[in-house]
Amino acid sequence: MDLLALTSMAVRPALADLVPLLPPVRFEAAGGVEVARRIRAGASADLAVLAADALAALHADGLVERPRPLWDSATVAAVPAAAPPAALATTADLRTLLTTARAVAHSTGPSGTALRALVDRLGLTARVRLVQAPPGTPAGHLLTDGRADLAFQQHSELADLPGIRVLGPLPGDTAITSTFAAAVLTATPRPGPARHLLDLLDGLAAAGAPPTARARGMHPHTPATGRPAG
């Protein structure tokens, strides 16, 4: 029987590229909040690949073994494809984008949590209307359906979405980087094969992100990358 790994949507492209290099495994992707909920509810699986902060919380509750960081992904800003050009080179540019947007979309995951904290740190909480995308739905979809005119999420989630244009990562010390990690579920009935799979993922991640993942802004984890998002 194949191993089962529960993953967030953000890491799905990276994992899909690695399937030929791994033992038989089925990756089942959903919103990170939903995956964590399923694990807490007793989901039958062997491995989880999620945002590092989500896995840290699951580890603290004894639901997964010690997580291993795999990849980092920068949070980027995006606008509808038809929007006029906009600068994002300085913190002043970012403040202008945030305060002139009719609504700002973000995810339920670590980039959304970090964006809310950033808006508060910039003193803009009362001036920015934040809209959260449903779990498992890229924040960019709120641009294409008209619910927002500015969105922030990991590049891996927004790359190649039709109808949007990625402006780029956040400037200077406003940069947000989300770390994605993997961990064996403590309830797995196959701890040996699950740990072997984790070892392989760890080694492959250290060697570099797969081509599809690199094109979507994912890179091997380095502790000093950006401003952690969890």
Per-residue model confidence as pLDDT tens digits over 143-191: 999 999 999 998 888 887 899 999 999 999 999 988 999 999 999 999 9
Half-sphere exposure of 165 (CA within 13 A, CB side): 11
Instruction: Report the pLDDT value the prediction gives residue 174, as an integer from 0 to 100.
Output: 97
CA-based R_g, the chain, Å: 18
Lookup: tokens for 220: 């091997």
Which range has the top average pLDDT, 29-33, 96-100, 201-205?
96-100
Residue 205 confidence (pLDDT) above 80: yes
Residue 229 confidence (pLDDT) above 70: no
CA distance 115 to 135: 16
Instruction: Report the pLDDT value the prediction gives residue 226, as an integer from 0 to 100.
Output: 38
The residue among 218, 221, 229 whose CA lies nearest residue 73 is 218
Task: Report which residue type is found at 131.
Answer: V
Is 47:111 a contact under the CB 8 Å cutoff? no
Residue 230 confidence (pLDDT) above 70: no
Residue 208 confidence (pLDDT) above 80: no
Which has the minimum average pLDDT: 52-66, 88-102, 195-209? Answer: 195-209
Instruction: Report the pLDDT value the prediction gives residue 1, as an integer from 0 to 100.
Output: 80
Instruction: Report the pLDDT value the prediction gives residue 17, as an integer from 0 to 100.
Output: 86
Confidence of residue 227 (pLDDT cuts 50, 70, 90): very low
Instruction: Report the pLDDT value the prediction gives residue 28, as an integer from 0 to 100.
Output: 96
Q: Which residue has the higher pLDDT, 191 or 10?
A: 191
Instruction: Report the pLDDT value the prediction gives residue 158, as an integer from 0 to 100.
Output: 87
Instruction: Report the pLDDT value the prediction gives residue 126, as an integer from 0 to 100.
Output: 97
Is 85:51 a contact under the CB 8 Å cutoff? no
Residue 202 confidence (pLDDT) above 50: yes
The tens digit of pLDDT for each residue in 117-138 reads: 999 999 999 999 999 999 878 8
On the 0-12 / 13-18 / 19+ scale of CB atoms within 10 A, 114 is buried
Instruction: Report the pLDDT value the prediction gives residue 132, as an integer from 0 to 100.
Output: 96
Enumerate domains of the chain plus CATH numbers: 3-72+179-220 (3.40.190.10), 74-174 (3.40.190.10)
Residue 98 confidence (pLDDT) above 90: yes
